[in-house]
Amino acid sequence: MTKKDGALLLGIGVWNIGIWGNFARNLARTATDPAQDRPRAYYVAHGVLVAANTAIGGLLIAKGTAALAGRD
């Protein structure tokens, strides 16, 4: 894998963590808002999405960092 590929993976991973982190924060705010009337399944499903995509972002960061360091 080239360093250019590694930089791309690193960028996508950081973007993924940032976007889903923001979504998780907004989801938590929604969960504590009494004006929101959403079923528990909504929060469970979106919580699973946040966890999975954060893990994918972490893996992309690790792979991109390894490629940039020449360990790939």
57, 13 contact by CB (below 8 A): yes
pLDDT bucket at 6, cuts 50 / 70 / 90: very high
Q: Give the model's confidence band at 53: pLDDT under 50 very low, under 70 low, under 90 confident, else very high.
A: very high
Q: How far apart are CA 28 and CA 49, in angstroms?
A: 14
pLDDT in tens, 8-30: 999 999 999 999 999 999 999 99
Total count of domains within the chain? 1
Q: How many Å apart are CA 48 and CA 54, to the nearest integer? A: 10
Query: pTM for the full model?
Result: 0.86
pLDDT, tens digit, 9 for 90 and up, residues 54-69: 999 999 999 999 999 9
Q: How confident is the model at residue 51 (pLDDT cuts 50, 70, 90)?
A: very high
Domain that holds residue 52: 3-68
